[in-house]
């Protein structure tokens, strides 16, 4: 339900949320309030007990949708990925190892296959291709001042861990699905951080309580087992951890304030930027375009806090180049019979 509502919200209000001089229209506010209620359900239904919780989320939710809308705009236009473009388009050549690798990435995506199965007339699909960018330095040969020189420090660029996200029939559908995916990632981050902070706080408080009780018993009975100096040292160490923990979410209001903070400032959790590299056909990085050997590779990079940045490129893939579905049971029986 959340995905459906997000999709509808972006379709109707994309690029216009909160931009009107007199504020959002009444229908827009109503939809934002409904979305706020869904976000409450996704994070903690207990927030409904907080007076005015939906109203307090109205501004933060609008701000998040606007930010995500702008973030998705940074992803360049679709790259057509097919066997022929692997040779013709240097971007496709850079992203994939060879023709077969290209087909495998899309053919192994359950979402891509489901999309084609549910849309039998669709000749192609659009999606977000996410990858990790790898750079490796090495000594190689290079043309310097029209002279071939050995042992020149070079940097090779390659892409790995390919993942197809949010496929759609058209580019607009794929971009809208991407926005929904980003918002859901923010909600997942809020939920995970809340659980981790609450768990850590409870653990520290339990350990502090247990050590305090042991120390008190030892003070009442000095002949008992234990070293009071060591116990005090451990207590001080835990107290330092408790002070440095930051958010402890000791109350429902604390947790709700965290939701408001993340949705009000999503740029602190999720960042996106336009990037560009100059590569040659061998994947060697250059400082700029030169002598026709290098081409420009534009892409977007999306980074969630505490996670490795991911290269993002909008892509298009034709149905006709899907590989046949693998029959794993048949392959296993052949292997066992061999």
Q: What is the DSSP-derived secondary structure letter of residue 157? A: E
How far apart CA 305 and CA 252 sit, in angstroms, is 24
Predicted confidence (pLDDT) at residue 329 exceeds the cutoff of 50: no
Instruction: Let me know: does 33 contact 85? Beta carbons within 8 Å.
Output: no
> 331 pLDDT band (50/70/90 cuts)?
very low
Cα dihedral 65/167/303/255 (nearest 10): 50
Share of the chain above pLDDT 90, in %: 29
The winner for highest mean pLDDT among 53-67, 136-150, 165-179 is 53-67
Q: List the structure tokens of 336.
A: 């066992």
What is the mean predicted confidence (pLDDT) over 180-203? Answer: 83
- The torsion angles phi and psi of 171, rounded to 5 degrees, stand at -65, -40
| pLDDT tens figures, 133-163 | 998 887 776 666 666 677 778 888 999 999 9
How far apart CA 126 and CA 272 sit, in angstroms, is 20
Which residues neighbour 181 within 8 Å (Cβ) at sequence distance 6 or greater?
128, 165, 166
How far apart CA 320 and CA 280 sit, in angstroms, is 29
Which residues neighbour 125 within 8 Å (Cβ) at sequence distance 6 or greater?
112, 115, 116, 167, 168, 169, 174, 316, 317, 319
The number of residues in the chain equals 338
- Give the residue carrying structure tokens 């290079």: 142
Side-chain half-sphere exposure of 57, counting CA atoms within 13 A:
27
Q: List the structure tokens of 222.
A: 């000095």
| pLDDT tens figures, 89-114 | 888 999 999 999 999 999 999 999 99
pLDDT at position 10: 76
pTM: 0.72
Domain segments of the chain: what residues?
A: 1-194+250-326, 195-249
Q: List the structure tokens of 230.
A: 């060591």
Query: In 3-state terms, what secondary structure has residue 153?
Result: strand
- Give the residue carrying structure tokens 């692997």: 86
Helix (H) or strand (E) holding 191, with range, is helix 171-220
How far apart CA 102 and CA 125 sit, in angstroms, is 14
Share of the chain above pLDDT 70, in %: 84
> Which of these, 107, 152, 142, 143, lies nearest to 127 by C-alpha position?
107
């Amino acid at each position: 339900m959340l995905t459906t509502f997000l999709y509808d919200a972006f379709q109707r209000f994309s690029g216009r949320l909160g931009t009107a001089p007199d504020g959002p229209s009444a229908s827009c506010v109503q939809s934002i309030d409904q979305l706020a209620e869904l976000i409450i359900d996704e994070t903690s239904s207990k927030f409904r007990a907080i007076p005015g919780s939906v109203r307090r989320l109205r501004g933060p939710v609008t701000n998040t949708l606007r930010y995500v809308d702008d973030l998705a705009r940074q992803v360049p236009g679709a790259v057509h990925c097919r066997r022929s473009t692997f040779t013709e388009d240097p971007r496709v050549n850079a992203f994939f190892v060879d023709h077969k690798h290209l087909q495998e990435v899309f053919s192994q995506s359950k979402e891509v296959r489901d999309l084609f199965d549910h849309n039998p007339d669709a000749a192609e699909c659009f999606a977000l291709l996410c990858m990790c960018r790898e750079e490796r330095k090495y000594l190689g040969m290079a043309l310097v001042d029209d002279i071939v020189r050995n042992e020149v420090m070079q940097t090779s660029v390659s892409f790995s861990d390919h993942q197809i996200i949010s496929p759609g029939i058209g580019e607009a559908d794929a971009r809208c699905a991407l926005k929904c995916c980003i918002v859901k990632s923010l909600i997942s981050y809020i939920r995970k951080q809340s659980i981790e902070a609450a768990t850590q706080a409870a653990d520290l408080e339990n350990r502090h309580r247990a050590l305090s009780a042991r120390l008190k018993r030892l003070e009442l009975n000095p002949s008992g087992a234990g070293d009071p100096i060591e116990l005090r040292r451990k207590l001080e160490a835990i107290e330092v951890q408790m002070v440095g923990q930051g958010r402890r979410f000791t109350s429902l209001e604390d947790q709700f304030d965290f939701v408001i903070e993340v949705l009000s400032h999503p740029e602190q959790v999720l960042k996106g930027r336009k990037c560009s590299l100059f590569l040659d056909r061998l994947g060697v990085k250059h400082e700029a375009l030169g002598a026709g050997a290098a081409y420009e590779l534009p892409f977007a990079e999306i980074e969630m806090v505490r996670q490795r940045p991911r290269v993002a490129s909008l892509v298009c893939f034709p149905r006709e180049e899907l590989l046949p579905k693998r029959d794993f049971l048949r392959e296993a029986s052949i292997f066992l019979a061999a």
